[in-house]
Each structure stands twice: as structure tokens, then as C-alpha cells.
Amino acid sequence: MSAKPALRLDAEEIAAFLNDVYPGAMENFSIEDVQPMSARIRMPFKPWRLRPGGTISGPSLMALADTGLWVALLGMIGREPLSVTSHLDIDFLRKPAPADVIAHTTLHKLGRRLAVGDVIMYSDGEDRPCARASVTYAIPSSYAGPSS
């Protein structure tokens, strides 16, 4: 009963859906793994993401956190009309090196109206995170999925 609900979409299907509704989205991110209530996505390094000092910009990390949790959410709710971010908070912990950044996302709640989760971000090869975030998505009322 409290088992994790099954996935509705796998990594490939999510990438295809995102590219459909948000053309170009997947030029900036790649989905590495999707599990029930969690996902791992990668933001490949691009020079335009750097800010003075040679670190990845804050808005880039915010976009990574936002997209990362969206991917985990789509895995659970499928090709539903667009959910929208209602809240995001982020702590910048260490200067992120000019490298790929990997986001590990965990959904803590998937309700009928709100989904909430955490994101921990690492520069590729580092074992201490460069940022943490939590994100809330408002789910459109057409969705009649699991309440929890």
C-alpha cells in the first residue's frame, strides 16, 4: 500500500516529451537515470554557463534543480499537462568547477495538487555537493493521480 508507485515513463520517454513541450530543453541536460520517486540528470559543461571567477552561474544551477525535479515528477505522472514550479529554494555550498554538474533528485511528496522534492548537485568527480535545492511543483487540477 505504501509501496512506491510504478514509473509511467522511462528516461527516453521523458526526454522525448520534454523536447516536445519545451523544444531545445534537452540540449542543455541529459537524463541519466529515472527511478520511482527519484532521478539523476546531468548538465553538460558549456562555456556560456561560466560567471566571472570561472564558476558555473547560479541561474544555471537553479535551472538544473528545477528541471531535475520535473524529470522525476514526469516519471511518476506521465505525459500530463504542464506542471509549474511554485517554489524553489537553493543553497550554494561550494564554487562549482567548470565541469558537468550532476543532480540527484528525490520526490518526498507526490500529491494531487503539489509535488515536493530535494535536489543535491555535484560537480562531476566531486564527492561533496556544490548546491542543494528544494522545489515545489503545482500539478494541474486535471491530474487525478495518487494522493499522498
Residue 63 or residue 97: which is nearer to its own copies going by CB? 63
Residue among 4, 22, 124, 40 at smallest CA distance from 83: 22
Residue 12 or residue 84: which is nearer to its own copies going by CB? 84
**Residue 63: which residues within 8 A CB-CB, separation 6 or more?**
28, 43
CB of 100 to its own copies, least distance (A): 18
3-state secondary structure of 63: helix
The C-alpha atoms of residue 81 and residue 63 are separated, in whole angstroms, by: 20
CB of 145 to its own copies, least distance (A): 15
Q: How many helices (H) and strands (E) does the chain have?
A: 3, 8
Residue 40 or residue 104: which is nearer to its own copies going by CB? 104
Q: In the complex, which residues of this chain contact its own copies (CB under 8 A)?
A: 2, 21-22, 51-53, 58-60, 62-63, 66, 82, 84-95, 108-109, 113-114, 116, 118, 120, 126-129, 132, 134, 136, 138, 148
CB of 23 to its own copies, least distance (A): 8
CB of 134 to its own copies, least distance (A): 7
CA separation, residue 128 to residues 10, 69, 123, 145 (Å): 28, 20, 8, 36
Residue 12 or residue 108: which is nearer to its own copies going by CB? 108
3-state secondary structure of 31: strand
